[in-house]
Amino acid sequence: MREEDSNWFAKWEEELPSPEELIPLSQSLITPDLAIAFDLHRDNSNSGQPLPQTTPPQPNSSTEFAGDSTGDEPARTLKRPRLVWTPQLHKRFVDAVAHLGIKNAVPKTIMQLMSVDGLTRENVASHLQKYRLYLKRMQSGGGGDSDHLFASSPVPPHFLHQTSRQSSDLFIPSFVPISTQQQHIAAPPSQFLHRQISAVNFTSPTKATDQTTFLARQQSQLQQPVFRPSSLHLHSQVANYTQDLDSGAKTVLTLFPTRDD
DNA sequence: CTAATAATAT
DNA sequence: GATATTATTA
């Protein structure tokens, strides 16, 4: 089965374009601020889950912020919409876990590595929990037709084999710097599709993954519609976390700006 | 952090 | 109403 170990990554890296990868997800992160700014409080009629394939538009190119109302400051204490784990997002998750190694694959670290703005530790923790259950279930019974999301991303063999420890994950080849060029979190209600907000998300600076910071940042953006973040921006930050990895971990990740997803 | 349970969406 | 997904709590 060793051969598979060599191959699995090859196949993985091959990155075969699955339908999910191809579909243009128009999912952007809508901050509570924006939500309220738009007068959309909690429309659960349809706001929750955007059907993956029913979301046609891709008007994300516009960096315009409709109606930057003046009185939207309280980003705190507001409940942000449910996070929707898209295949892409999940892939980032899996990548992060894989590259961190099971050992360091804890919510906090994963979150940091993912560098997905707006993503909280709780989000990752919850997803990680479910992911572990999925792995377990897979070892046991196998064919699970329910876990469509998880099935969309290949599961590194390492995950299945050992339950804990093992840092062999370090030898993993080229690591894709998880740059947050266009991340999709939370689904925009259909109503909003008209005024689709293209939230340009940059990775967190040094370690400020705080929601507050993030929110503040987005707000700033709203007021300064002059952002065209280039890749440069990104990897300078990405390079940062290298030190943050496990103290024993020497095999630092090779981070180049890749526009994978 | 992890596991269990509640809440919410489909 | 049941099931799946995510959030919250222990």
Residues 37-96 of A with CB under 7 A from strand C: 79, 82-85
Is residue A165 within 8 Å of residue A23, measured between CB atoms?
A: no
Q: Which residues contact A224 (CB under 8 A, 6 or more apart)?
A: none
**Token pair listed for A164:** 């804990």
Reduced to 3 states (helix: H, G, I; strand: E, B; else coil), residue A175 is strand
Q: Is strand B in 7 Å reach of the CB of A125?
A: yes
- Condensed to tens digits (0 to 9), the pLDDT of residues A66-113 reads 334 444 546 566 778 899 999 999 999 999 999 888 788 999 999 999
Whether the per-residue pLDDT at A136 is higher than 50: the answer is yes
Whether the per-residue pLDDT at A32 is higher than 70: the answer is no
Q: What is the mean pLDDT of residues A151-178?
A: 58
- As a rounded value in angstroms, the CA-to-C1' distance for A79 and C6 is 13
Indicate the pTM of the whole model. 0.53
Q: Which residues contact A167 (CB under 8 A, 6 or more apart)?
A: A101, A103, A246, A248, A249
- As a rounded value in angstroms, the CA-to-C1' distance for A160 and C3 is 26
Is residue A84 within 8 Å of residue A185, measured between CB atoms?
A: yes
Of residues A240 and A138, the one with the higher pLDDT is A138
Is residue A34 within 8 Å of residue A74, measured between CB atoms?
A: no
**Token pair listed for A112:** 């940091």
- Condensed to tens digits (0 to 9), the pLDDT of residues A194-241 reads 333 333 343 433 333 333 333 333 333 333 333 333 322 333 333 333
* Other C-beta atoms lying within 10 Å of the C-beta of residue A70: 8
Q: Is strand B in 7 Å reach of the CB of A49?
A: yes
Reduced to 3 states (helix: H, G, I; strand: E, B; else coil), residue A12 is helix
Residue type, A12: W
**Token pair listed for A221:** 């953006």
- Main-chain dihedrals φ then ψ at residue A84, nearest 5 degrees: -105, 120
Name beta bridge partners: A175.
A255
Is residue A178 within 8 Å of residue A44, measured between CB atoms?
A: no
